[in-house]
Amino acid sequence: MNTPDLPSFWAVIPAAGIGSRMRADKPKQYLQLAGKSILEHTLNCFLDHPCLLGVVVSLAEDDPFWPNLGCARDARIYIAGGGAERAESVLNALLRLGELGADEQDWVLVHDAARPNLDQSDLDLLLAELADDAVGGLLAVPARDTLKRVGSDGRVRETIDRSVIWQAYTPQMFRLGALHRALAEALVSDVAVTDEASAIEWAGQSPRLVEGRADNLKVTRPEDLHYLERLWRGRS
């Protein structure tokens, strides 16, 4: 894609989780994939983009792994402190952007450290589709399987109409000022915020869904990493 047509943006990478569902010996963002850590692959997708203004990575306070990464010395990468929940880690990164002099109207793309398979074509698609959008939005994938609502007894309660169900992915793209206000107010109000879009929705706006690749998966459980290892086998 011709990048002069794309907006400049800041990236926020929440990477302060412990990866409990992975049941690994270190936080999953530091597990190896094709010779690099998952976090390095994720960062490279943004560091390679010509429209990047800078990256803020939210890290756990006691993170001993970050200084050993080659990209830790990249001048375009800034650090923020992680919080107890993902939303707090993101809010801390937005505060850091303010300290760095980012403008309220700057685009911010929030992307999980645990999604290393983001394709540059999806990143460019999101930027192009939302460049002039009044609200912003997110990469997402329409439900592909039949969906069931489960009862407390573990049995099917109903089959859900999947034609109106999409899975939210990241990056999620919003203006810095609007996202900062929505996230801060949602957290103060104890609203459950598992992604940036839900804070924007709570603030009364309707983010746009941009259909992306289904292989932009979040490494959550061991089989997710095994899948990517097979997918990446033989990549340079």
Ligand X SMILES: C[C@](O)(CO)[C@H](O)COP(=O)(O)O
Ligand Y SMILES: Nc1ccn([C@@H]2O[C@H](COP(=O)(O)OP(=O)(O)OP(=O)(O)O)[C@@H](O)[C@H]2O)c(=O)n1
Which of residues 85 and 106 has its CB atom nearest to ligand Y in the complex? Answer: 85
Residue 131 CB, shortest distance to ligand Y, in Å, is 25
Q: Which stretch binds ligand X (CB under 6 A): 33-41, 59-67, 165-173, 222-230?
A: 165-173
CA–CA dist 192, 215 (Å, integer): 26
Written as six digits, the tokens of 98 are: 């303010």
- For residue 114, state whether it binds ligand Y (rule: CB under 6 A): yes
Which of residues 42 and 122 has its CB atom nearest to ligand Y in the complex? Answer: 42
Which of residues 72 and 184 has its CB atom nearest to ligand X in the complex? Answer: 184
- For residue 196, state whether it binds ligand Y (rule: CB under 6 A): no
- For residue 220, state whether it binds ligand Y (rule: CB under 6 A): yes
Q: Which stretch binds ligand X (CB under 6 A): 39-47, 58-66, 92-100, 166-174?
A: 166-174
Written as six digits, the tokens of 227 are: 């899948």
Residue 29's binding partner among ligand Y, ligand X, none (Cβ under 5 to 8 angstroms by kind) is ligand Y
Amino acid identity of 233?
R
- For residue 108, state whether it binds ligand Y (rule: CB under 6 A): no
Near ligand X in 203-232, by CB under 6 A? 218
Question: Per DSSP, which regions of the chain are E strands?
Answer: 9-15, 32-33, 36-37, 52-59, 77-81, 107-110, 136-142, 147-150, 156-160, 166-175, 208-211
CA–CA dist 147, 158 (Å, integer): 9
Instruction: Name the 3-class secondary structure at 142.
Output: strand
Q: Which stretch binds ligand X (CB under 6 A): 25-33, 43-51, 163-171, 175-183?
A: 163-171
Task: Give 53-92 as a 3 state SS string.
Answer: EEEEEEECCCCCCHHHCHHHHCCCEEEEECCCCHHHHHHH
Q: Which helix (H) or strand (E) holds 127?
A: helix 120-130
- For residue 122, state whether it binds ligand X (rule: CB under 6 A): no
Binding site for ligand Y (CB under 6 A): 14-21, 29, 58, 82-86, 89, 112-114, 218, 220
